Structure 1
Amino acid sequence: MCDGTDYLPKAGPRGPIAALQRAADLASLAGAWIAGLCIVALTLLVLIDTLMAFVSRMIPAFPSGTGVGWEYSAYLMGAAFLLGSGMTLRAGLQLRVELLLAAGKGRFARLIECMSALLGCIVTVPLTVWLAQFAHRTWTYGEVSQDSFTPLWIPQVVLAVGAGILAFQMVARLFTALIGHPVNNPALGAASAIE
C-alpha cells in the first residue's frame, strides 16, 4: 500500500531543517496528487462538453454543453497549477536559468540558490496571505459565480492552499540551501527536466 512516504528519502540529513523539508515534501506530495485529480477532472469536463457539442449538432434539442464547462475548467486549471507547484519546485522541474547556476564552475550555485529561495519566499508568503484574505472576504460577502452560483470562496480557498504549499516549500528550500543540503530531489518528479 502506498501512503505517499514511499517517494520520500528514507535516509539522509537529520535535524530540524531536514524535518521541515520532509514536512514540506509531504505537503507538496499531497498537493501534487490533488493537482493530478484536478487535471483528470478537467480532461473529463472538456471531453463531456466536446461530446455534448458534437451531439447537439445532430440533435438540435440536445444541450450544446454543460453550462459550467468554462468556469469549472478555469477553477480546475488554477488549482492544478498551484497545488502542483510545490512538488515541481522540489523535484527541480521548474524553469531555471542553469547558466547562472553554472557560473564560476558552480562556486556561486549555493549563493544563487539561497537568493532565489529568499526571493521566492518574499513573493509566495504574501501571495498566500493575500489569497487567504481574499477567500475570507468573499466568504463573508457570500459571493457566488454568475453561471453556476458556486460560492466563490471554494475555488479561492483551493488557490490559497496551493499557494501555501508552494510558500512552505520555498521556506524549506531556503533553510535547506542555507545549511548546504541538496535543494532538489529529482526522485520526486513524475518526469525528467527538459534540457
Structure 2
Amino acid sequence: MRRLLEGIYSGAAALAALCMVLLLLAVLLSIASRQLHFQTPGIDAYAGYLMAGAGFLALAHTLKRGEHIRVTLVLNLLRGRWKKGAELWALSAATLLALLFAVYSCKLAWQSHVFNDISTGNDATPLWLPQIAMALGTVVLAIAFVDELVLELLGRREPPQSSEALRNE
C-alpha cells in the first residue's frame, strides 16, 4: 500500500513537472510570437492553466517531503500527549479542509463539463479541461493528508524534516 501511495504522489509530481515544462514552452512561444510578429491565440490563458496545474499537482508531493510551510513554534514547546494531541488536531483540520477542497474542485470541473462552460478568451477552451488538474491535485492532496493522519494515529508517522531550515541564516 505504501508503494502505491508513493507512486500516486510521485506521479502527481511528475505531472506537475510536465506542466512546468509546457509552461516554459508556452512562454517561449509567446515571446517568439511577439518577436516574429505572428499571433498565438490563447497562449497566455494556456500558460495560466499550466501554472495552476503545476501548483495543484505538486501539493501532495510537497506535503509528503515536509516542504509545506508549518508554524512549529508552539509544537516545539509541547511534549508528550499534548504534542500528539496538537498534531492530531492540526492533521484532522487539514484533512477535513483538503477533503472539502477536493470535493468542491471535482464538483466545479464536473459542472463546467455539464454546462459546457468555456473560457471568455478568444481560445474558448472548455474550462473543465484545465480544472481537471486542480481537481486531481486536490484529490491527491486529500489522500496525502488522510495518509498522514492515519500514520499519526497509528504512531508510525515520522514528520519529514526539511533541510531548508539548515540553509537559512
Provide the TM-score with structure 2 as the length reference.
0.87
Closer, same or farther in 2 for the Cα pair 1:108/1:23, shift >3 Å?
farther
Does 1:165 find its partner at 2:124? no
1:35 maps to amino acid: A
What residue in structure 2 maps to residue 150 of structure 1?
Answer: 125
Pick one of 31, 34, 41 that aligns with 2:15: 34
Name the SS of the counterpart of 2:118 in structure 1. coil
- 1:41-60 superposed matches below 5 A: 41-55=22-36
Which amino acid letter does the alignment assign opposite residue 27 of structure 1? I
Residue number among 68, 77, 84 corresponding to 2:42 in the alignment = 68
Runs of at least 5 residues in structure 1 that lack an aligned partner in the other structure: 1-18, 56-61
Deviations 1:16-40 (A, max 9, x none): xxx3x54332211100000001011
Distance 1:165 1:120 in 2: 13
1:193 aligns with 2:164: yes
- Whether the 8 Å contact between 1:110 and 1:180 is mirrored in structure 2 is no
Q: How many residues align?
A: 165
Partner of residue 81 from structure 1, selected from 37, 44, 55: 55
TM-score, normalised by the number of residues in structure 1: 0.76
Residue range with higher mean Cα deviation, 45-54 or 116-125: 45-54
Shift of 1:177: 0.9
Letter in 2 for 1:30: G
Structure 2 unmatched ranges of 5 or more: none
Work out which of the residue numbers 61, 64, 71 in structure 2 matches 1:90: 64
Asked if the contact 1:25–1:169 (Cα under 8 Å) also holds between the matched residues in 2, the reply is no
Cα 1:109–1:193 change in 2 (3 A) is farther
Identity rate, percent: 27
Distance in 2 separating the partners of 1:177 and 1:104: 16
